Chains A and B, each alone.
Chain A
Amino acid sequence: MTRTPRDLTVMFQGRLQAFRCDLAFTVPGHGVTALTGPSGCGKTTILRAIAGLHRFDNGFCALGDEVWQKPGVFVPPHRRSVGYVFQEPSLLPHLSVRQNLLYGARARAGMPTLEEITSVLGLAGLLHRRPTGLSGGEQQRVAIGRALLAAPAFLLLDEPVSALDRDRKNTVVSFLKRLPIPILYVSHDSDEILEISSEIIRFVDGFVIRAGRSGPDATRICQQPEDRSGHWGERRHG
């Protein structure tokens, strides 16, 4: 596999409360990579560890040559150029939709502007509303727009379209696919994953069991932990 400068390299080992994990994988520096596995297997924990919101004592995490975590180094979350759409939209309740969108806004070439975000995500009529009055789907769209306007170099999405209706889901998914930044996308909806991702990482109970290209020419890109055969369960051959 050829490494581009913006690959995300992740290695986490150890315990976080009840969650035990031993994994290593690389997320390519372009396109959408899906992260999947049964619920409770630790997908969200891994996203949080990449973002710097959780800390595995034994870990390595780097975006290209920008090292976020290695022994003796832990870059705090706000200094990592990563965007994160949480599973719950988590809008800031004291700010209007517009203020939420602009909270971290910054310009980056190729990234959508407030006008584009507002029109693609259908937020025009909501800008002056408060988050508390919005539906789940509306909140989710604001959360996606807010993360994009902060112009991160890498985007973590945790079930970002789960509350959207089918039409809206399609629009948002194709919009996300066209973004110029790499995305790590957590979902357990296999149709959604096949639709959006060019790469799939699958894990069970904190261990990567398969990482490969989605579609018929799947190749393994990640070493499987050798003594974890009991966890490989649902291994897929493409």
Chain B
Amino acid sequence: MQSLPPDIWQAAWLTVRLAATATLFLLAISLPLAHWLARGASLWKDAIFTAVSLPIVLPPSVLGYYLLLLLGPSGPGGWLARVSGAGQTLAFTFWGLVLGSVLYSLPFAVQPIHNAFEAIGPRPLEVAAMLRASPWRAFWTVAVPLAWPGILSGAILGFAHTVGEFGIVLMIGGDIPGRTRVLSVALYDYVENSQWREANIIAEGMVIFSFAIIFLMSLLRRRIGRYR
């Protein structure tokens, strides 16, 4: 096998770093959000759930457009960049990409976690409360361990979805090698420049990665029914 061109390694490493960072934020947001959404119903919760789910149907370029306004020099992101001395804008930076990825992948992380929390039902948490566990302790010692297959699914899906994003990265990230040039964008470049060998390597890698992820998910799904 011929060695991989270094810029593919660079793009791959950046992609993994971006997806891992985004996944950490996704979990930190999705766990409390999904738990809150799963406890009782109200119109207010339905509205939040809908807003979180929007990226499923919105074209990524729409999300990217609004993020560009948000992160650009005249938006709050530009203000933040100037205050923190990071320059004029948060667009075209790694952290801008992280924010975009988190928003874009949020529904894919929230939904399986939400389903898992819902499937537990209220009883185990009532049991914990009757044993005088605080809601905080009940969440970490009962809800999370019982929902872990769903939480793992959410993390994997969020990670994979971030790896697979394209439109939003192009809008807010540009194509800066080592900073914002992730694999999907690199593939696009190679095709533009007729570098078919490199394009092939990335495309095949992505197919194998996606297959592995979805296969892993279906193995996990079998474990979700473990306690029932």
Contact = CB atoms under 8 A, between A and B. Distances in A.
Interface of A: 51-53, 76-79, 81-84, 86, 88, 90, 92-94, 103-104, 106, 132, 146-147, 150
Contacts of B132: 78-79, 81, 104, 106, 150
Interface in B94-147: 123-124, 126-135, 138, 141-142, 145-146
Given A78-B134, A93-B227, 15 more contacts: A77-B129, A77-B130, A78-B128, A78-B129, A78-B130, A81-B132, A90-B124, A94-B142, A94-B227, A103-B128, A103-B133, A104-B128, A104-B130, A132-B227, A147-B131
B166 to A, nearest CB: 39
A47 B133 CA distance: 19
B145 A104 contact: no
The 8 closest A-B pairs by CB, nearest first: A104-B131, A93-B227, A77-B129, A84-B130, A78-B129, A94-B145, A150-B131, A90-B127
18 contacts: A53-B126, A53-B129, A77-B126, A77-B129, A78-B128, A78-B134, A81-B132, A82-B130, A86-B123, A86-B127, A92-B124, A92-B146, A93-B146, A93-B227, A103-B128, A103-B133, A103-B141, A104-B128
Given A78-B135, A86-B123, A92 B130 contact: no
A51 B130 contact: yes
A90 B123 contact: yes
A131 to B, nearest CB: 9
B146 A94 contact: yes
A193 B26 CA distance: 53
Most buried by A among B127, B129, B135, B142: B127
B130 A83 contact: yes
B131 A103 contact: yes
Interface size class of B (residues with CB under 8 A): 10 to 19
Contacts of B146: 92-94
A106 B132 CA distance: 10
A146 B131 contact: yes
A134 B60 CA distance: 51
Interface string B142-173: 10011000000000000000000000000000
Nearest to A99: B141
Contacts of A106: 132
Contacts of B124: 90, 92-93
Contacts of A90: 123-124, 126-127
Contacts of A132: 227
Contacts of B134: 78
Contacts of B123: 86, 88, 90
Contacts of A103: 128, 131, 133, 141
A117 to B, nearest CB: 14
Contacts of B130: 51, 77-78, 82-84, 104, 147, 150
Contacts of A88: 123
A120 B124 CA distance: 25
A30 B130 CA distance: 20
Nearest to A106: B132
Nearest to B127: A90
Contacts of B129: 52-53, 76-78
B133 A92 contact: no
Contacts of B145: 94
Nearest to A156: B130
Contacts of A104: 128, 130-133
A70 B178 CA distance: 62
Contacts of A51: 130
Contacts of A53: 126, 129
Residue of A78, A90, A150 with most chain B CB atoms under a 10 A cut-off: A78
A76 B125 CA distance: 13
